[in-house]
A = this chain, B = another copy of it.
Amino acid sequence: MAPQRASGLTRGELARRTGVNAETIRYFERIGMIPAPERTAGGHRIYDDRHARTLGFVRSARSLGFAPGEVRAILELGGPGRALCAEVRDIAAHHLEQVRAKIADLMEFERPLTSTIEQCSGRADAECAVIDMIETP
């Protein structure tokens, strides 16, 4: 039995599957963020699952606030001339720190929001705790 083999995605399918704009996929290839895929005889790009995974990684990393250069740096660790394990670990550790910092920052964001919303009873009177949070002296 053949499981689901050799996906052979078209650009549009890849876009739909990953949620990345089809034009952006071409752009990512141009700037080397993702590898250039195979082509059909007629020149159409054909992607496989690895592309899908990489692209998904890029998408979520970007939307989480990692800079393009950072994303590329992570991805390039696996490229040709694979980096030494120790080096990789250092970079990954550095990113882990960033991730944790981001989480901490977001929680800073969350706390006042939560407690403020609770106080904000929904009545239509002028004062509002959420507003105060933003513009307090």
Contacts and interface: CB of A to CB of B under 8 A. Distances in A.
Interface of A: 49-50, 53-54, 57, 60-61, 63-65, 74-75, 77-78, 82-86, 88-89, 92-93, 95-96, 99-100, 102-103, 105-107, 109-110, 113-114, 116-117, 120-128, 130-131, 134-137
Majority SS at the chain A contact face: helix
Given A53-B135, A75-B134, A99-B113, 19 more contacts: A50-B137, A54-B135, A61-B109, A63-B105, A64-B65, A64-B105, A85-B121, A85-B122, A85-B123, A85-B125, A85-B127, A85-B128, A86-B123, A88-B128, A88-B131, A96-B110, A96-B114, A102-B106, A103-B103
A116 B102 CA distance: 20
A95 B117 CA distance: 11
B92 A122 contact: no
Contacts of A84: 124
Contacts of A107: 103
Nearest to A116: B92
A102 to B, nearest CB: 6
B96 A113 contact: yes
